[in-house]
Every structure is written in structure tokens, then in C-alpha cells.
Amino acid sequence: MTLSAPEDAPLKLRDRIENEILTGDMPPGFRLDEVTLATRFGVSRTPIREALFQLASAGLIEIRPRRGAVVAEVGPERLVQMFEVMAGLEGMAGRLAARRHTDADRRSLTDAHEACRRAAETGDADAYYYENERFHHAIYAASRNAFLIDQCAALHRRLKPYRRIQLQVKNRVANSLAEHEAIVAAILNLDGDAAERLLRDHIVIQGDRFSDLMASMSERAGSTAAKGR
Amino acid sequence: MTLSAPEDAPLKLRDRIENEILTGDMPPGFRLDEVTLATRFGVSRTPIREALFQLASAGLIEIRPRRGAVVAEVGPERLVQMFEVMAGLEGMAGRLAARRHTDADRRSLTDAHEACRRAAETGDADAYYYENERFHHAIYAASRNAFLIDQCAALHRRLKPYRRIQLQVKNRVANSLAEHEAIVAAILNLDGDAAERLLRDHIVIQGDRFSDLMASMSERAGSTAAKGR
DNA sequence: GCTCCATTTCTTGTATACAAGAACGGTTGA
DNA sequence: TCAACCGTTCTTGTATACAAGAAATGGAGC
């Protein structure tokens, strides 16, 4: 299973491990043994350790001194917190995008939205997942704040696996698209307050949607558990 | 010059280097030579490299493959962007704090505010700097979102040196305290919208304040320049 | 049969050795 | 005098060796 497909030829070690974590090949709690990884990737322990430190900084794994590294367990509570922050950041990006976007931003935003619509109409969930990502990145970019773009992209990336599950919830694609519609309108109308509010609500998990996500998660946990040790 | 004083006995390598960067002992553009650092700290290159990778993940330094690491140059543009994001995050923390704070949060918030007032009255800028930090962390904590707390604390830490300069701007302490007053009131009154708005304005740099900060920065750059190579 | 302790084994943390790319300088030619 | 090219030197990237702490295992005592 692969998540994204850039030029995958010179993929750095860090990204390869990161992918395995994000795709769930290395489930939460999975023990990351240095020598095992080293032999598996055909390198020595040194570059492995460097990659692990970077992943630890990103919060994807947890390094306990002298006790090795494990894939970070993100419990329901922390997951909700992360989505809450994501909602805040996206709302902020939307507000800024509404009053700062350039003509080029406007175009890439509408393009991405149209691509989402096409994917939704064909009912291809995977395609929608991909185009949805493009849509959100277009909003980040339109905020014209490079630091905010970095922060949003980083958190978005970390939430990738859960977002994917989220889309499997019933009717989510149709609802998501309708929300996109309103978001685009708000940004193009330079209505920052509306864009912020709409994006916040678009991301936030609450009520039924939250329960659904949690349910999907626990199912999934059952199927992938005990891969570690 | 030291920034904060935890139990400084078993200070990790990463933090020691980080401190030298944050305090300005290693100014932006400063070349971080591995062997030099290794001999200076009395260790081998390996742990130095680990620390450097972590600092790079945090955005404090920049590692150019095969070309070594340098302290990241944060230009005025990026600095403004970082403060903009900080304002957004603090606003969010304030909004959440207003509707989630516990009795203990309420107490530590008012305590921190009182400490700020005392420091301001004695005119001790350093003391105010320290208590101001405590005040903001009290708000983060009151948001009851551990992930948001982490994010806020990390960015706050990165902006430390610039915040310190900011306080040296004329009348800033008095204005800051007045703004704190209103923020506390909003949070205690459970007025999330007001808390968010007030905190955003409290952090944001614009107009005169921004010019003043830039002026202080360029002065400072002059005094510390060319320490690197 | 269970528990606690000692020994062994395994894993991580650190140091060092080696390889390869980048910066530097000197020489040669116009 | 200046520029380009080649060789040296220095720095980073990787591998390996060694040390020290943690887990695992086996045995002894209760």
C-alpha cells in the first residue's frame, strides 16, 4: 500500500519508514528495532538512527532512552485534540486566503474543487481522497504564509491515515463536497470570517461523525493489532 | 546569558546547542561544524549529529546535504509569518480556555497575572519577561488540549528571542499588562470570542510595533554579525 | 510451585575508522 | 592580470567496533 506517489526513485530512508507508519504497515506500538531496520533497508544502524530521531521529532514515533523506539500510540483523546488543532489551523488559513489570494491561487483552488467534484461524481473514493488533499493544500497556499503552509502540511500529513478512514464514513464524500463548495465561495467573495468558520466546521469532528470515526478506528485496531510485540 | 533555568544539571546536548542558538550566541548563518562542536562538548561526532538532526526538525537550523549545518536565518518575512501563526494558536487556546478551564486553571491564570502586575510595577523588565511567559503558558494549559499546548509551547519557545526584544519597545510592558487584564476577564467570563480576539491582537505585530521590532532586530544583527564565517 | 536474584544475552548509545563529495588553492595558459 | 583546470584538504556520510544499560533466562531458596 502506498499513500502518495512522488518520484519514488530516490526516496529517503526517513520517508520510507514514515510511509510504513502512516499506511499502518507499522501499527501503533510497533517496535522499531535498529538492527532489523538496518538489515531490511540494507544500510547500517547509523542512518537508521538519524531517521528515527527525525520521526521522533515529528511525533510519529516515541524514543524511550535505552529502551528503543516504538510507533506512537495516538489514543482517541489525542486524535481529537489533533483534529481540533487542524481545524483551527485550516480556519486560519482560510481566513487569510480570503483576503490574500492571488489570481493563480484562485485558479488552483477552483481547479482542485472541480477535480473533487469529478471524483465524487464517478464515486471513486480513492480519487476523491487524493483530490481532496490537493484542495486543502490549495487553501494553505492561498494563505500566503509560508510558515502556516508548512505547519498545515505537516499536521495534515500526520492525520492522513485517519482522514482516509473518515472518508469511508457513509455519505461523507457528498457532504464534504458540498462544504467545499461553500468554502470556495467564501474565499472567492473575500469573506474571511465565513471561510474560517466553514473550514473549522469542515474539519472538526463532533457528534455522529466522531462516533463513526472512533468505531472505524477500533475495528481497524482489531485487524492490525499484535503485529508488533 | 541563559534563557530559562530548569534543573540545569543533566542538560541534554540538544538543549545546550538550542540554548546557544536561542540566546544568540550562535547567530543566524552561524556554521555548525561537527568536529568543532564535538570537541567543544567533549563528545564524538555521533551524538552531535543526532542533536543537529533534531534541531533541524524543529526548524532552528538548516542542514544542506553534504554541505553542513547552519543556524537558520529567519528573515523579517518569515518572522512575521511565525508571529501570525502564534497569534492564531494563542487565540485558539484562549477561546478553548474560556469554555474549558477548571478551577485550578482559573487560579494559576490569575496568579500568573498578578505576578505580571507586580513585575511591571517594580519596573523589572526581566522579571516581567519571565512572568509573562508563565501567563501565556497558563492560558495554553487552560485550553485542555494537550496537543495544542505542545504546539503553542514549541512555537513560543522558538520565538523567545524576538519576544524579548519586543518587550524592550517603549511602553510595551504597560500595554501588555493592560491587554492581559482584558484577556483574563474574557476567559473568566467564559467569553471565548473575546478571548480569542484579544489574544490575537495581543500577539500580532503590526504598524508601529512591527517597525520597532524590525529596527531592534537590525541593530542587534549588526552587533552579532560575522561571528560565523 | 512460585518468587526473587544472578548471570547471560541483547539492544541501545558512543567512539572511531573509512569513503566520498565539496571547498580551497595553486599552477598553467591565454 | 585574469580565468580555468587539476590536485589537495577538509567536511560530511556511512560502516563498524566497543561499552553500558536493560531485558530475558535460568537456578536457587522459600
Q: What is the DSSP string of A118-150?
A: HHHHHT-HHHHHHHHHHHHHHHHHHT--HHHHH
As to burial, measured by CB atoms within 10 angstroms (0-12 exposed, 13-18 middle, 19+ buried), residue B229 is exposed
Instruction: Please give the pLDDT value at position B77.
Output: 86
Read off the pLDDT of residues A3-25 as tens digits, 9 standing for 90 and up. 443 333 457 899 999 999 998 89
Let me know whether B80 and B55 are in one domain. no
Q: Do A85 and B147 touch (CB under 8 A)?
A: yes
DSSP A178: H
Q: Is the CB of B107 under 7 A from strand D?
A: no
B8 located within any domain: no
Sign, CA dihedral A190-A196-A197-A199, equals positive
B169 located within any domain: yes
Let me know whether A213 and A113 are in one domain. yes
Full domain range(s) for residue B27 = 13-73
B184 located within any domain: yes
B110 located within any domain: yes
Q: Domain containing A29 — which CATH number? A: 1.10.10.10
**Domain end point (choices B51, B73, B95):** B73
Q: Domain containing A141 — which CATH number? A: 1.20.120.530
Chain B interface, best mutation among A147, A196, A200, A206, by max B CB count within 10 A: A147
Let me know whether B44 and B156 are in one domain. no
Strands A31-32 and A68-71: antiparallel
Local confidence band at A82 (pLDDT 50, 70, 90 cut-offs): very high
Interface confidence (ipTM) of the complex: 0.87
Let me know whether A32 and A59 are in one domain. yes
- Which residue, A79, A47, A71, is CA-closest to A166? A79
Q: Do B151 and A49 touch (CB under 8 A)?
A: no
Contact of B109 with B132, CB cutoff 8 Å: no
Instruction: Please give the pLDDT value at position B227.
Output: 36
Strand D: positions under 7 A of a protein C-beta atom? 11-17, 21-23
Residue B85: list chain A partners with CB under 8 A. 89, 92, 145, 147-148, 151
Instruction: Please give the pLDDT value at position A116.
Output: 96
Instruction: Please give the pLDDT value at position A218.
Output: 59
Read off the pLDDT of residues A150-182 as tens digits, 9 standing for 90 and up. 999 999 999 988 887 777 777 888 889 999 999
Instruction: Please give the pLDDT value at position B163.
Output: 81
Let me know whether B215 and B143 are in one domain. yes
Let me know whether A106 and A219 are in one domain. yes
| C-alpha cell belonging to residue B63 | 542542514
Let me know whether A201 and A168 are in one domain. yes
Read off the pLDDT of residues A92-116 as tens digits, 9 standing for 90 and up. 999 999 999 999 999 999 999 999 9
A2 located within any domain: no
**Tally of domains within chain A:** 2
Local confidence band at A217 (pLDDT 50, 70, 90 cut-offs): low
Let me know whether B134 and B30 are in one domain. no
Read off the pLDDT of residues B115-151 as tens digits, 9 standing for 90 and up. 999 999 998 888 999 999 999 999 999 999 999 999 9
Let me know whether B65 and B178 are in one domain. no
A7 located within any domain: no
Looking at the partner chain, which of A50, A82, A96 has a beta carbon nearest the beta carbon of B147? A82
Let me know whether B54 and B86 are in one domain. no
Let me know whether A44 and A133 are in one domain. no
- Alpha-carbon distance values, B113 to A67, A136, B126, B146, B179 (Å): 41, 39, 15, 22, 11
B86 located within any domain: yes
B130 touches chain A (CB under 8 A): no
Let me know whether A94 and A179 are in one domain. yes
Chain A interface, best mutation among B81, B89, B193, by max A CB count within 10 A: B81
Question: Residue A192: is its pLDDT beyond 70?
Answer: yes
- Alpha-carbon distance values, A171 to A112, A167, A175, A177 (Å): 20, 8, 6, 10
**Domain end point (choices B24, B49, B73):** B73
Q: Do A81 and B151 touch (CB under 8 A)?
A: no
- Alpha-carbon distance values, A142 to A108, A136, A148, A190, B73 (Å): 9, 10, 11, 12, 24
**Domain end point (choices A73, A103, A120):** A73
Residue numbers of B between 34 and 73 with CB closer than 8 Å to A? 46, 49-50, 53-54, 56-58
- Alpha-carbon distance values, A127 to A23, A122, A132, A184, B114 (Å): 17, 9, 8, 20, 55
> CA dihedral in degrees (A117, A120, A126, A129; nearest 10)?
50
Residues with pLDDT less than 50, chain B: 1-9, 222-229
A229 located within any domain: no
Query: Residues 16-75 of A near strand D (Cβ < 7 Å)?
Result: 43-47, 50, 66-67
- Residue A47, C-beta contacts closer than 8 angstroms, at least 6 positions apart: A13
